[in-house]
Amino acid sequence: MVRTLVLLLTLLGSPAWAGERPAPLPAAPQGFAAGDSSAGEAYFVRLRAAEIGGNFDSAGAEEVHVFVAMGAEERLLAQRSLDLENTLQTYAFDDEAYVELRAGDPIVFDLDVRDADLTEWETIAGAQEPARLSPDAFGGEQGAPLRVALATIRGSSWSFFGTRTFKIEGASLLLELRRAPRRDALDDATRAAVAEALGAVAGPAPDDAADAARLEALLRRGAVAAMDTARRSTHTGMRRRLPPLAQEAYDLADVARQVAQAPTDPAPLRAALRELADALARCAGQAGPDEAATATALRETAAAARAIALPDRIGRETLDQLRAAQERLDRERERHAPHVARLRWETTPFAEEYEDLTDRLTALAARFAAARADHQARERFATGWSALAGRVRDATAR
């Protein structure tokens, strides 16, 4: 079973991730459920700098996470991999995302800084006391700074010279507060942001699958740009409208990758079938007189693998042939299950090789299934592109 899983992961993998795995899409804008917003304003906070220390991880950098909390809820304000020292150092956090706070009077929130250890969170420091601010403290759209004092940082770090404890006073976080009018209707600013990030998707669906790699890159760039714009904006309309479009574009890029990687040359699959057939025949030749049934099954499966015919070029018109090959290999794998179950490992010299061959049957069937799925992705890509293009046009129409 373990070998089967390893072979499946190696040979099949995830079709969308063949080759280098793409960078993940940034998270959608964070915020708390709306409170009293009768004034039609929204309130935001983001981290600009952290003056902290504490070498909690002697073997490497600290995975610093800063959280903002309102009541029992918390949201991630920023995260960064930092090499903290046992003295205070100032670390700049440029262009971090805004978190929308729940409106109220006062607006109350707490802060907590943690290190993501291998198995658990390790507290670095929390705020000495929660911030209690009037709406006026948020300073309008130009922003207002707020420095929040942190509690004493205490901890220990290990080295070859022993364990060292540390106690660091004076740590703090520098926040940017911002207040902005709620703008939830589709306006010119939102139209412009959608057009800048995803305007290239507004046209008709391309019909050239050979261009799929370029379209994948275009969609990923647009998705990341749209999400980054939403995360770094205090425009409530952009924060609401851009993320769904960004996610849809990013998901469509995965489909484009499948289209781009769809195999057209049957030579690798033919070679795999031939190698498998030869190995099955060799294994059958090792069977003894009391293993005649197993040897017959191996020879018949070898003949079945050699009989699988592939076209000169793999394409959408050959999907039925790919499915037939996959199903035949799956059936051949099943017929060997009882033979493997009856193997006497102590006295059968080819037992391990036989089990490996049945695993290879499963993995090769999976390769045929993946090739078929990659070619089927063309229709999904065309449909997905048309749907996304329509939503982009709606979001940019005047």
Q: Of the candidates 146, 181, 216, which is a domain's last residue?
A: 181
How far apart, in whole angstroms, are the C-alpha atoms of residue 149 and residue 126? 9
Whole domain around residue 137: which residue ranges?
38-181
Residues 377, 302 within the same domain: yes
pLDDT band at 15 (very low <50, low <70, confident <90, very high): very low
32: nearest Cα among 21, 18, 42: 42
DSSP alpha helix (H) spans, the chain: 2-11, 188-198, 212-231, 236-261, 267-285, 292-307, 319-341, 351-396
Backbone angles phi, psi at 13, to 5 degrees: 60, -160
Q: How many Å apart are CA 250 and CA 278, to the nearest integer?
A: 43
Between 13 and 163, where is the model more confident? 163
Assess whether the previous peptide bond of 106 is cis (omega < 30° from 0): yes
State the pLDDT at residue 92: 96
Looking at the structure, do residues 395 and 261 belong to the same domain, yes or no?
yes
pLDDT at 18 over 60: no
pLDDT of residue 11: 39
Q: Which residue has the higher pLDDT, 49 or 314?
A: 49
Tokens of 198: 């995803």
pLDDT classification of 107: cutoffs 50, 70, 90:
very high
Sign of CA dihedral 389, 391, 394, 395: negative
Same domain? 326 vs 238: yes
Q: Residue 26: pLDDT above 60?
A: yes
Cβ within 8 Å of residue 194, ≥6 positions away: 226, 241, 242, 245, 392, 395, 396
Q: Which of 69-78, 137-146, 324-333 has the highest mean pLDDT?
A: 69-78
Q: What CA–CA distances, in Å, run from 139 to 44, 162, 229?
A: 11, 49, 22
Provide the CATH number for the domain around residue 152. 2.60.40.150
- Same-domain pairing of 162 and 276: no
Hey, what long-range contacts does 382-387 have (CB within 8 A, 24 or more apart)? 382/205, 382/207, 384/248, 384/251, 384/252, 384/255, 385/201, 385/205, 385/206, 385/252, 386/204, 386/205, 387/248
pLDDT score of 379 more than 50:
yes
pLDDT at 5 exceeding the cut of 70: no
* Per-residue model confidence as pLDDT tens digits over 217-242: 999 999 999 999 999 999 999 999 99
Last residue of a domain, one of 162, 181, 200: 181
Cβ atoms of residues 258 and 15 within 8 Å: yes
Amino acid at 239: R
Residue 238 has φ and ψ, to the nearest 5°, of -65, -40
Last residue of a domain, one of 147, 181, 215: 181
Name, of 195-204, 258-267, 289-298, the range with top average pLDDT: 195-204
What's the pLDDT score for residue 162?
67
Mean confidence (pLDDT) of the chain: 87
- Over residues 282-308, the mean pLDDT reads 88
Q: Is residue 196's pLDDT more than 70?
A: yes
Domain count, the chain: 2
Separation CA 23–CA 150 (nearest Å): 34
Distance CA 304, CA 227 (A): 51
More confident residue, 41 or 140: 41
Helix (H) or strand (E) segment spanning residue 49: strand 41-52
- 323 and 305 in a common domain: yes
Q: 131 with 177, same domain?
A: yes
DSSP string, 121-173: EEEEEEBSS-EEE-GGGG-GGG-EEEEEEBPPEEEEEEETTEEEEEEE---EE
The answer to whether residues 96 and 155 belong to one domain is: yes
Together in a domain, 79 and 213: no
Q: In this predicted structure, which of 21-35, 42-56, 216-230, 233-247 has the lowest mean pLDDT?
A: 21-35
Q: Is 43 helix (H, G, I), strand (E, B) or coil?
A: strand
Asked whether the predicted pLDDT for residue 163 surpasses 80, the reply is: no
Residues 119 and 226 in one domain: no
Whole-angstrom distance, CA of residue 216 vs CA of residue 205: 13
Residue 200 and residue 166 share a domain: no
With a cut of 50, say whether residue 6 has pLDDT above it.
no
pLDDT in tens, 319-356: 888 899 999 999 988 988 888 777 776 667 777 888 88
Q: Give residue 9's pLDDT.
A: 33
* 374 shares its domain with 326: yes
Handedness of CA 359, 365, 368, 370 (dihedral sign): negative
- Give, as one character, the DSSP assignment of residue 223: H
User: Are residues 281 and 144 both part of a single domain?
Assistant: no
Cβ distance 218 to 200 under 8 Å?
yes
- Looking at residues 83-88, what average pLDDT do you find? 90
